[in-house]
């Protein structure tokens, strides 16, 4: 008779944990990471280009240098390959 309250408390717990394992996780969009990297690259290059232009570099050379710096600094990203 002492085991009955224990099992009565244990049964709902088993049902709750079993239900939580059956929930499907939403699939991640593989393009999302690429979109985030591209947006970061664009903002970073724009910011660095404006810094270089403030130092007196021509806009086309500033952008080219910023792209090169990005490729070196963030070479581990897919956006750096583009």
- Reduce the secondary structure of 13-31 to three states and give it as a string: HHHHHHHHHCCCCCCCCHH
Helical residues (DSSP H) of 1-82, grouped into ranges: 3-21, 30-54, 59-73
Which residues have CB under 8 Å from 10's CB, separation 6+?
none
Q: Do 78 and 37 touch, CB atoms closer than 8 A?
A: yes
% of the chain beyond a pLDDT of 70:
72
Structure tokens at 27: 């699939």
Predicted TM-score of the model (pTM): 0.63
Res 71 pLDDT > 90:
yes
**How confident is the model at residue 27, as a pLDDT?**
75
Mean pLDDT across the stretch 27-37? 84
């Amino acid at each position: 008779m002492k085991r009955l309250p224990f099992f009565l408390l244990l049964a709902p717990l088993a049902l709750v944990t079993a239900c939580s394992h059956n929930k499907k996780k939403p699939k991640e969009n593989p393009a999302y990471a690429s979109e985030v990297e591209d947006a970061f690259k664009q903002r970073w290059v724009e910011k660095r280009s404006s810094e270089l232009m403030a130092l007196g570099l021509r806009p086309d050379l500033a952008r080219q240098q910023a792209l090169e710096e990005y490729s070196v600094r963030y070479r581990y990203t897919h956006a750096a390959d583009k």
